[in-house]
A = this chain, B = another copy of it.
Amino acid sequence: MAVGNDGSRRGGVRQVAAAAGVSMSTVSNVLNRPDVVAAETRQRVEDAMSAVGFVRNGAARQLRGAPSSVVGCIVLDSSNIFFAEVVRGMEDKLAQANCLLVTCSTDVQPQRELHYLRMLDEQGVRGVIVSPVIGKLDGLVSLSRHGVPVVLLDRRRGKTELCAVTVDNVRGGRLAVQHLLELGHQRIAMVTVSTEVESLADRAKGARLAIRDAGLAPDDVLLTIRMPGPAAPDRYADAVDHLLALTPRPTAALCFNDTAAVGVLRELRRRGIAVPTEMSVMGYDDVHFASELSPALTTVRQPRYQLGWAAAELLLAESDARHRHQELLFQPDLVVRASTCPPRRPGRRPASS
């Protein structure tokens, strides 16, 4: 009894109409404009619906022009705890509007982004929330023009007319590197997955700004270690090998997210490198477990659930009559814990005089 009747095939409006002794359109009215139907008739129809085991056919409704009730989201990796929580925020906001969320992960591959975008378009989704890998926004702008609302996630709208929900990544990168500079680090490795994805590029930009502000030369201080995407198995081992092979060896590693920081912590531990005394490590996101790591992770906090919620909110708003596209900007915060400390040997090089 939990989900309609059992056993018998489920019927459509036609069967319901027959069972209730009314016409199809009355049934439709009960569904879409209940107030227009006599209470008694309505009751009879509703009874018939559960008797017949009626389930609305979304495809048919959509074909007739009803707005779809599924929304798509495309992120870099839904299994990353950061995105997982962002997505959860979306899901909950969408649930309020009786919408479902399709989750797609690109693993930072442009081709996968394209593929999912196409599939979502074919599904006729109500809209898409995208954290793009692809640099050019043309495809998304075009999609939007064709009537599929697009909300950018962690990507500024630039000159486009799209909605966007972002966190100030330039500021985040700056905060992180300021902290490391203040501790005395002069060789800092940024461990990232892409130098093209805007949010990540912005953090690098902020990092350089911080270095410049300190009167140093960004290229002398900042190194970039680029890892392969989430799918690669030994990505952290390779990244740490790379990190340790740099000369002079960096004294701090700034990871592009906390999950990566965990990977780096693990590989450093395996190699017997003490954190933070031999190597400071920073994360990014401040996920729940960051404070319980060994050592507790210094990181940059950014909102997650709230970010997804806001993105979904904007997306839903686009259905409304006249709606101005807008950009929302959240602010990150530096969270200092135990995984960073002054470098062992101060100065640019080991003092040799």
Binding site for B on A (CB under 8 A): 1-4, 6-7, 9-10, 53, 55-60, 62-63, 68-70, 72, 77-81, 84-85, 87-88, 91-92, 98, 100-105, 114, 116-124, 134, 136, 138-139, 142-143, 145-146, 259, 262-263, 265-266, 269, 288-289, 291-296, 305
Contacts and interface: CB of A to CB of B under 8 A. Distances in A.
B100 A104 contact: yes
A59 B143 contact: no
A84 B91 contact: no
B292 A122 contact: no
Nearest to A141: B6
- The 9 lowest CB-CB distance pairs between A and B, nearest first, are A294-B294, A2-B139, A79-B88, A84-B84, A59-B62, A3-B139, A59-B59, A6-B142, A262-B289
Contacts of A9: 146
B70 A77 contact: no
Number of copies: 2
Nearest to A134: B2
A17 to B, nearest CB: 19
Contact of A266 (B59, B98, B292): B292
A9 B77 CA distance: 32
B259 A69 contact: no
B78 A91 contact: yes
A245 to B, nearest CB: 23
A212 to B, nearest CB: 34
Contacts of A122: 55-58
A147 B84 CA distance: 31
A126 B84 CA distance: 24
A119 B63 contact: no
Given A58-B123, A70-B70, A262-B292, A103 B91 contact: yes
A171 to B, nearest CB: 25
Contacts of A142: 2-4, 6-7
